[in-house]
Amino acid sequence: MEIIYNYTLSELEELLVEFGFKKFNARQVFEWIYKKEVTDFEKMSNLSKKLRIFLNENFKFSALLVAENQLSFDGTQKFLFELEDHNFIETVLMRHEYGNSVCVTTQLGCNIGCSFCASGLQKKQRDLTAYEIVQQVLKVSEITKERVSHVVVMGIGEPFDNYDETMKFIDIINSPYGLEIGARHITVSTSGIVPKIKMFSNEPKQVNLAISLHAPNNEIRTRLMKINKVYPIETVIEAAKEYVAKTNRRITFEYILLEHINDELKHANELSDLLRGINCYVNLIRYNTVAEFNLKGSSEERANAFYLKLKSRGINTTLRREKGGDIDAACGQLRSKKI
Q: Which residues bind ligand SAH (CB under 6 A)?
A: 116-117, 154, 158, 189-191, 212, 254, 256, 285, 287-288, 290, 331-332
Question: In the annotation, is 11 catalytic?
Answer: no
Q: Are 79 and 69 in contact (CB under 8 A)?
A: yes
> Which whole-number Å values give the CA distances from 115 to 94, 241, 293, in the listed order?
26, 26, 8
Of 103, 110, 280, 331, the active-site residue reads 331
Give strand pairing partners of 313: none
143, 145, 151, 155: CA torsion to nearest 10 = -20
Is 179 or 290 the residue whose CB approaches ligand SF4 more closely?
290
- Closer to ligand SAH by CB, 25 or 78: give it: 78
Give the span between the Cα atoms of 148 and 54, in whole angstroms: 31
Any alpha helices (H) in 22-123, and if so which ranges?
23-30, 49-58
Beta strand ranges found along the chain (DSSP E): 2-3, 59-60, 65-71, 77-82, 88-96, 99-103, 107-108, 126-127, 150-153, 186-190, 208-212, 251-257, 280-286, 317-320
Residue 197 binding partner per list ligand SF4, ligand SAH, none, with a CB distance cut-off of 5 to 8 Å that depends on partner kind: none
Is the CB of 3 or the CB of 256 nearer to ligand SF4? 256
Name the binder of 254 from ligand SAH, ligand SF4, none, CB < 5-8 A by kind. ligand SAH
Catalytic residue (one of 90, 132, 158, 165):
90
Cβ-based neighbour number of residue 238 at 10 Å: 15
* Cα distance between residue 79 and residue 77, in whole Å: 7
Q: Are 243 and 251 in contact (CB under 8 A)?
A: yes
CA nearest 5: which of 167, 155, 144, 173?
A: 173
User: Quick check: is 31 catalytic?
Assistant: no
Q: Which of 191, 247, 272, 317 binds ligand SF4 (CB under 6 A)?
A: 191
Residue of 93, 110, 244, 257 that binds ligand SF4 (CB under 6 A): 110
89 DSSP β-pair partners? 81
Q: How far apart are CA 161 and CA 158, in angstroms?
A: 5
Q: Which does 13 bind (CB under 5 to 8 A by kind): ligand SAH, ligand SF4, none?
A: none
Per rule CB under 6 A, is residue 120 in the interface with ligand SF4? yes
Looking at the Cβ atoms of 28 and 318, the one nearer to ligand SAH is: 318
CB closer to ligand SAH, 8 vs 119:
119
* Number of residue whose CB is nearest ligand SF4: 120
Min dist CB 256 to ligand SF4, Å, is 9
Candidate residues 119, 136, 208, 333; the one interacting with ligand SF4 per rule CB under 6 A: 119
Shortest approach of ligand SF4 to residue 321 CB, angstroms? 19
Q: How many residues does the chain have?
A: 339
Name the binder of 113 from ligand SF4, ligand SAH, none, CB < 5-8 A by kind: ligand SF4
Which of 114, 153, 251, 280: binder of ligand SF4 (CB under 6 A)?
114
Stretch that binds ligand SF4, among 10-18, 27-35, 113-121, 301-309 (CB under 6 A): 113-121
SS3 12: helix
The phi and psi torsions of 332 (rounded to 5 degrees) equal: 80, 5
Which of 158, 254, 263, 328 is in the footprint of ligand SF4 by CB under 6 A? 158
Q: Which residues pair with 108 in a beta bridge?
A: 126
Smaller CB distance to ligand SF4: residue 117 or 310? 117
**Is residue 3 near ligand SF4 by the rule CB under 6 A?**
no
Q: Name which of 55 and 156 has its Cβ closer to ligand SAH.
A: 156
Positions marked catalytic: 90, 331
Residues lying near ligand SF4 in the complex (CB under 6 A) are found at 110, 112-114, 117, 119-120, 157-158, 191, 212
